[in-house]
Amino acid sequence: MSRRLVNEKILQEVEQKRSIFQIEAEKGKHFNFEEIYGNEQPVVLEIGIGRGEYLVGQSLLDWQHNYLGIEVNKERITYTLRQLQPRRHCNVRVLDLFVDDSLIEYIPAGSIRKVCIIHPDPWPKRRHNQRRLIQHKFLDVLYQILEERGVLEIQTDHAEYAQWILRHFAERSDFAPIRGGSTKIPRHGHIVTYFEEKKMREGNYPVYISYRKVEKQPETGSEDGLEETE
């Protein structure tokens, strides 16, 4: 078979899978997840899908949840679509969308069981820190879309960005740390992504950050210093 025919076959396959797995966003219109997935299973949201390792692999291991991956890089979406199989990944959808504070315009409040953000861009130069995804305004949005006691997991190999993230959580009363908030030990069943493996070979080991949505506490008053355990 010629290369041209092979490429045409791949394109046809991708477009067929796109029609199955990719959903479109309409500004100001919230997704109806029960309608999209055809069930009432809780939804896990991955922001930035990379090469699709987490979305493709975890959705098979955890078939009792629905998975939504948001990505703005079209090549990464195509790469992920090629890995998805209609019969095996019926609980997966992908969305081409630039993620910022406007996310609340598409994701209904209280509709997400867990948010996963794996290796967000650290924007290491100080003058670019305002471009980092993790800011208080964005955490406000994540708080809104998470269900009660919903979980936020962030993974980064950039030490200063990890401290930045933890500092933001420390300044808030609406998220409680799980297992101390951060660890360098991955949880059981952790899926190693291509980027994570690459950075570890370079000697950069990730920090795994986990917090749970809790009822907002009054700004005044004493704190007991107690941590939440999972």
Model pLDDT, residue 61 = 95
Residue range 118-145, pLDDT digits in tens:
999 999 998 999 999 999 999 999 999 9
| Residue 68 near residue 95 (C-beta atoms within 8 A) | yes
Please tell me which residue in 100, 101, 121, 140 is annotated as part of the active site: 121
Show me where the domains of the chain are located: 30-213
| Residue 94 near residue 80 (C-beta atoms within 8 A) | yes
| pTM: predicted TM-score of the whole model, two decimal places | 0.90
Task: Work out the number of other CB atoms within 10 angstroms of the CB of residue 193.
Answer: 20
Residue range 4-23, pLDDT digits in tens:
655 778 889 999 999 999 99
| Residue 53 near residue 84 (C-beta atoms within 8 A) | no
Q: Does the annotation mark 121 as catalytic?
A: yes
| Best CA proximity match to 154, nearest among 212, 199, 201 | 212
Fold of 30-213: Rossmann fold (3.40.50)
Phi, psi (deg, nearest 5) at residue 217: -100, 150
Model pLDDT, residue 187 = 87
Q: Which residue has the tokens 């199955």?
A: 20
